[in-house]
Structure 1
Amino acid sequence: MTADTPAGGAPRSRRERPAKPALTRDGIVAAAARLVRAEGLAKVTMRRLAAELDTGPASLYVYVRSTAELHAAVLDELLGTVAPPPASGTFAERLEAVLTSYTAMLMEHPGLARSALAARPSGDNYLDLVERLLALLAEGGASPGQAAWGVDVLLQHATATAAEQSARDADADAAGDWDALVEALRGASPGRRPHIAALAGPLLSGTPRQRLSWGFRALITGVLATPAPDHDDDIGRTP
């Protein structure tokens, strides 16, 4: 029998140690989500997660095929924190509230926001989110095709906004870049660029929250006003 010898103590058999919990996919994803909250997505590697779970990286690949799949699963886990639609308000106001909550969740986890541009979650929380959005669009009068494609456009806008903001927050030169843009727009020549010269103020106006809200409202209006092509059951996207 092998034994460990604690500092200042008698040898203790490894058989006396508490048994480690069995690995499961749900347990691995939950541990990864805790690491994202504490340390950020960049720290969530298979090696780091294996150390957290007191196992070897190879053991994790039995349950998660790749880091990309792990990140998609973590995204789905955190989608469970997206607020449900408010009980009152128009369909558009309630739809915007859900999308804003989704965007805010991504902004809390900058690395996850960038990963979400490519990740393809398919878990229960993602499906629940899509179901809510489809129901709200249908409530607003969207046809099945408009609702189906509209969800994609709305989530793309939310995800891209969160990823853009997270990239700016991490950029040490962001403030200088903004100052340079302000100077360039306000200094535009009316002769060469008359539209920019006339609209420099509006181009620079508004808070990020106001612009996000306006974007959602513009897209919702456009979804309802734009006919969608007939759909069949063929899957049009490729991996």
Structure 2
Amino acid sequence: MYRSLAAALIVIALTCGSGREPAAQQSTYGDAMRWYEREAAKGSAKAQYFLGLLYERGGGPRTKDLAKAFQWFAKAAAQGYAGAQYKISRAYQFGLGTVSDPEKAVLWYRRAAWQGLPEAQHNLAYMLENAVSTERSPDEAVRWYREAAERGFGPSQFALGSVYMRGMGVERNLAEAWAWLRAAESRQFAGAGEARAALEKEMTPEEMSQARKMAEPRSPR
């Protein structure tokens, strides 16, 4: 019980804020690592994922090691752990701890996206929109942007607003564009407010009225 609690404290410290652990947690870091390593070796996907996080970020007696992080993420991803699937997608996309392979990035983003992970849905949509190692597919890109946007993911809300503003993969709709940009702005996504204000100059009073009604349920209360 003590070791599992210590491990949880270390992960919380590493995944929130600066990644520097309080002194009380530093003394348990070795126990936490040993607990994760033991559980990961038994095949626990969650332990493999968290062990990957510890190697990815470094700290305590462990230095940052992206290659080892990738190895543990890959083990968890193979078991269907969505967070790990997202991590190896980014690793393949940007060459983090492994050789860059955009095709594999698309493959794993898609698997994590199907599990409902908005970050994966957004990145997959971006790659589909911009033909990054895959055929350009505006329709599918819009679909995944929408999936993530409806989950409240600010970057996808901004992207979907831009999609409707440009008419990329959808019919141009300024009211829809304004509503999604307003949703992104309410989540403090950089540039959303400026884009929304600029868009208003093109809109009719009727479009503005419709946009405000559409935006209300999309913004956090």
TM-score calculated relative to the size of structure 2: 0.31
Q: Please say which structure displays the higher CA radius of gyration.
A: 1
Higher relative contact order (Cα pairs below 8 Å, separated by 6+ residues): 1
The structure in which a higher percent of residues are helix is 2
TM-score calculated relative to the size of structure 1: 0.30
